[in-house]
Amino acid sequence: MEHLVKILIVEDEPKTGDYLRKGLREAGFVVELAQNGIDGLHLALEGDHDLAIFDVMLPGINGWQLLDTVRRAGKTFPVLFLTARDQVEDRIKGLGLGADDYLVKPFSFAELLARVRTVLRRGRPAQEMTTLQFADLELDLIKRRVTRHGQRIGLTAKEFGLLELLLRRQGEVLPRSLIASQVWDVNFDSDTNVIEVAVRRLRAKIDDGHDRKLINTVRGMGYVIE
Ligand code: CA
């Protein structure tokens, strides 16, 4: 028997909430819906959800606070944010707090469903995953060890954090501002040189001497492992 996947939705717009609940139930999920942040928090803390969908602008507790509180309480289920605000800072803020994905309203249900499935796929093995891999590059999260083609590569703590982020989000172009907030815990507004230098050093350690270059720069956008 397939495990029933439980999804918590916290959305204050009744129409959107009902629409999501109905659609996700039809797609075979068990769905709980809360219409404000307080009820959402209670459900999140009591339940054993596999995934949550939080609207950002909520009465009571907003989506960011909700996520923050839930994470502090030790809940690790993946969280997908819904928001009408499509600013980059919001995306970074959400991802910095440990959101797993972000969907800007208005969105189609098909798009939401695709994101839900991706996050669930990504989320489940991640709980047991102790190594991250791309091509012949391997990062062992427990032993804090990196190898390429079986050869050990010594990294600083920041380089390790940077590589871990790139590997976790492999195939995605990560902007410098995101890397700064995730790996350095700060926002570099003017001086993004720090990131460039770190990436250059990391790339030298990972890619020098190999024909296939794994860490790539996308000009004006950021960095990607692919
Ligand atoms: Ca709202």
Give the start-to-end residue ranges of the domains of the chain.
Answer: 6-126, 131-225
For ligand 1, the distance from its centroid to the CA atom of residue 67, given in whole angstroms, is 15
* pLDDT score for 127: 45
| CATH code of the region 6-126 | 3.40.50.2300
Percent of the chain with pLDDT over 70: 86
Six-digit token string for 48: 């054993």
* Cβ–Cβ under 8 Å, residues 78 and 107: no
Residue 146 pLDDT: 96
Residues 152-177 have pLDDT tens digits of 999 998 999 999 999 988 888 998 88
Q: Write down the pLDDT at residue 91.
A: 61
Q: Which residue has the tokens 């219409």?
A: 35
CB 38 within 8 Å of CB 44: no
- Residue 97: pLDDT band (50, 70, 90) is low
Mean pLDDT, residues 197-225 taken together? 94
**Fold for the domain defined by 131-225:** Arc Repressor Mutant, subunit A (1.10.10)
Report d(CA 50, CA 181) in Å as an integer: 26
- Please name which of 161, 145, 136 lies closest in space to residue 212, comparing C-alpha atoms: 136
pLDDT of 125 higher than 50: no
1, pLDDT greater than 50: no
Distance (angstroms) between ligand 1 centre and the Cα of 133 equals 38
Q: State how far the Cα of 179 lies from the Cα of 175, in Å rounded to an integer.
A: 6
Helices in 104-192 by DSSP H: which ranges?
A: 109-128, 157-168, 176-179
Task: Pick 186 or 136 by higher pLDDT.
Answer: 136
User: Does residue 63 carry a pLDDT above 80?
Assistant: yes
Compute the distance from residue 55 Cα to the ligand 1 centre, in Å: 6
187 CA → ligand 1 middle, Å: 27
Helix (H, G, I), strand (E, B) or coil at 138: strand
What is the spatial distance between Cα 130 and Cα 138, in angstroms, rounded to a whole number?
10
Structure pTM? 0.54
